[in-house]
Every structure is written in structure tokens, then in C-alpha cells.
Homo-oligomer: A and B are copies of this chain.
Amino acid sequence: MSVKITDTSLRDAHQSLFATRMRTGDMVPILETIDNVGFHSLEMWGGATFDSCMRFLDEDPWERLRVIRKYVKNTKLQMLLRGQNIVGYKNYPDDVLEEFIKKTVANGMDIIRIFDAVNDLRNMEKAIEFTKREGAHAQGTICYTISPVHNNNVFVQFAKDLKETGCDSICVKDMAGLLSPYKGYDLVKRLKEEVGLPVQIHSHSTSGMATTTYIKSIEAGADIVDTTISPFALGTSQPPVEPVEAMLSETEKELELDGDALTEMSEYFKGMKKKYEKYSKLAFTVDTNVLNYQVPGGMISNLTSQLSDANAIEKYDEALQEIPKVREELGYPPLVTPTSQIVGSQAVLNVLTGERYKMISEEVKNYVAGYYGKPPHEIDPTLKERILQEKEEFTGRPADHLEPQLDKARNEIEQYLEQEEDVLSYCLFPNVAMEFFKKRQEGKINASEDNVEPEPEKEKAEASGNGKSGTDS
């Protein structure tokens, strides 16, 4: 029985390596080829791409979705949805979520991968319900992490809850590349036996384990794994598809991919890598910080830039060691958007001010008060008590305290409205969207299809190595 592949080249790969900067016009020329490879699905929307389109690329994210759908006729399109956070960094009211999913599916989305940073089902259940109602595939996600309160029992139970809530499949989302081959094997085996839904593994090569974890997970029965094309692979991105294909080719789980289309895709993305690598902050190597501190690659680069901004890069080691402490005090949330930012920024504050929790960020206060959902474990009592003196605790479903937002938003952007989707863009990122709308009205926005990253001005100087370097011998 063949294993299936979700290709992440158009979303997670460039989000992980190139600051989510890939433009639609650079995707268009290769879309029909990608469509011919035979992938199960293309992850090509959601996550940070929505924000990035308007904020950095002068693009309409909805137009990107329609353009890709136009050229990708056979392969399923897939997105990453942050549960009640949609594609933003905080909870949005149900009316925005509902309309967002409606428009997303109407514009051509097939599969919606839904996660919540603290694995709180209440932050996911509406998204699952709306996705099912629109006729799309709802994939329920387990955010994988390591802590004294996380183990395979907890994850399997959560998967059962997701199935109960209506999910069509389960994704094990290992955003930091922490899932080891043997833990992965056990988890997948149990999910297959005890839950019975298709299981998809999403990992990152950050710590150097992901490719092996895929192979062991497939041995345990995983149905789909997330890879990317080799020029966009490794480092903090996904494992490359080519070796996974080669390794499985001699087993009964052989992939059914079109080799010529894959080669063409690889050649194309080599060119893209040259254009976009200027956005890369991280070396394409193994990040041992992940293994030592369980801090994912994206957090490392945020940490570095926050410390640099504060002229305090010498506190790097201290800040790195502070992250697991803050995470423990906040009840061991998995480190993924937005908890990665919440934990990381507080760790930097703790180190910069010279006194732990001398200053507490608004996000930490909201998190502790329950506005992000129920943390996996109890919050440090002293910290909690202190914060609840100024902020009332909220134990209900986080989105329940939020007022509907759509109608008011529609009124506010009336003069700029060109499509119903604009209301959603505005609800999600009011300032960024407003700037985008103004530019658009001034005719300063290009069609997505024509929006390409400029070629680098000059080729890098040739590397100077030479001599009789043989082939390892």
C-alpha cells in the first residue's frame, strides 16, 4: 500500500527558510508541473502566508488562493489554520471564523489542517464544525511537544477527542523537529490501532531526525508525510521528498510520483532558492539547540533579533536557558504560534530587565488568565496569583467572550471593499489590511500572478575551493 505525500514547498518550506516571502508570480510557472507529480495535497496557504502577502508582498492572499486553484486542477489544496486564531496571533470571534472558512472553501480549498497551540479542543471545535459543514476535509492536529506532562497517552486521548469532534484525519504536527523515530513509531502505531483515522506526520529537519522519523512512522503505518522539494528542504524546513521516495522505492510502501515532473520541480526551485536565500537567517545545518533546549529554529532567530534590537546579544545563552523555565512556569505549552512568541518574548524580558517577571507582557497576562485556552499543566502558583490580582480569570471557551466583528468591520472598510473577502482580511489584520486596501485603491498593487521577486543583482563570487578533492577516499 503506497504512502502519500503532502508537498509543503508553497507554504511551510518558504515560511521556515525564507521568512514566508515567496511570491505568487514565482509559483505560477511551476504549478502545472507540481500538479502532475502526484502529490496527495499541496500545503500552499494559511500559517504566516496570509499576513505576509499583505504585509510584505503587496499581494491579496485570496487572489493567491484563486490563482493556485486555477493552475492546480487535480491535486488537493491544503491550508494550515490556527484554530480560533485563524491565520493570526489571537482568538477571533466565531462569526469571523465561520465566514473565513466559508470563503476559503468557496475559493477552492480542499483540506484544512486545524491546530491549537495548547491542544485545547475548545479552540478547534468550531473550526472543525464549519469545515465539515462547508464540505471540506477537516484534519485535526496534535501539536507534538516534550514535557513531563506530555506523553503518548495524552496525545492518543486528544486524537480520540478530535475524532469524536468530527475530524476526518489526524496530523501529528512536530513543529520543532522533536519527534524521534522511536517515539514516532509508538505514537503512530497507537493512533492507528486506537483511533483508526488516517495519520499524517508533519515534521521539520531542524534537529536532524525528521527523515528517519518519517521512515519509522511509515513502518508503524503512517498514511501521509509532509515533505518539500530538495532545494527548499532541510534545516528548519521539511525533509526533502527525493530521499524519502528513494528509501521507500524498495518497499511495498513505494511512492507513486512522476519522476520527470519531480526533477523539473527540483530544477525550478533551485532557481527560487537563489532568489530567496537572502531572506534566510539560518544555516542549513542541524540545530543542536533544539536537542539541548527543545527550542525550535524559528524561536532562535526571533530571540537573536530581539536581543540584537536591545543591544544585548551577549545575553543570548542566558535567554536561551530562560525559555524552558518560562515554558515550565506557564504549564508546558507546546512552542508554536502564538505560544512560541509569548514564551520567547517573556524570556527575553526576564533576561533584559535583570529580574524575572519584573515586567510581564500583556500576552502572558492574557495567557495566564485563560484567554488562550487551558494550558497543558498548572501555571506556577505565585505567577498566577500575581497576574489574577489585576486580571480576572476566564475559564470558558476563549472565543465565548468575543463580540461578533463582521458587520462592524464591513462598515469600516466600506469605501475600499472590492470583494467580500476583504472584510475578513480586515478583521484579521486591521492595520496591515487597511494599508493594503489604500495602495490597491491607488492602483499600486500588481496582480498576484505577475508578482515575482526580483532577480539578485549579481551572481555570488565563485567559491575559491579547488584541487584534487576526490570522492571520499
Q: How far is the CA of A436 from the CA of B239 in the complex (A)?
A: 46
B240 contacts A472, C-beta separation under 8 Å: no
Chain A, range 428-473, C-beta contacts under 8 Å to B: 463-473
Q: Kindly state whether residue A181 has any CB partner on chain B within 8 Å.
A: yes
A278 contacts B207, C-beta separation under 8 Å: no
Q: A234-B286, A251-B182 are in contact. Are A291 and B467 (CB under 8 A)?
A: no
B212 contacts A180, C-beta separation under 8 Å: no
Q: Kindly state whether residue A98 has any CB partner on chain B within 8 Å.
A: no
Contact with B along A172-210 (1 / 0, CB 8 A): 000110001111000000000000000000001001110
**A335 surroundings in chain B (CB, below 8 A):** 471
Contact with B along A274-307 (1 / 0, CB 8 A): 0000111101111010011000111101100100
Query: Which of B48, B291, B463 meets A470, CB within 8 Å?
Result: B48
A285 contacts B234, C-beta separation under 8 Å: yes
**A180 surroundings in chain B (CB, below 8 A):** 246-247, 250
Q: Kindly state whether residue A47 has any CB partner on chain B within 8 Å.
A: yes
B301 contacts A288, C-beta separation under 8 Å: no
B337 contacts A301, C-beta separation under 8 Å: no
Chain A, range 217-273, C-beta contacts under 8 Å to B: 230-231, 233-234, 236, 239-240, 242-243, 246-247, 250-251, 263, 266
A464 contacts B279, C-beta separation under 8 Å: yes
Chain A, range 10-34, C-beta contacts under 8 Å to B: 12, 15-16, 18-21
Chain B nearest CB from A88 CB (Å) reads 11
Chain A, range 314-365, C-beta contacts under 8 Å to B: 335-338, 340-341
Q: A115-B473, A340-B471, A472-B298 are in contact. Are A230 and B82 (CB under 8 A)?
A: no
Chain A residues near B (Cβ < 8 Å): 12, 15-16, 18-21, 47-48, 51-52, 55-56, 80, 82, 115, 117, 175-176, 180-183, 204, 207-209, 211-212, 215-216, 230-231, 233-234, 236, 239-240, 242-243, 246-247, 250-251, 263, 266, 278-281, 283-286, 288, 291-292, 296-299, 301-302, 305, 335-338, 340-341, 463-473
Closest 6 CB pairs of A and B: A208-B243, A298-B471, A337-B473, A279-B465, A337-B470, A230-B286
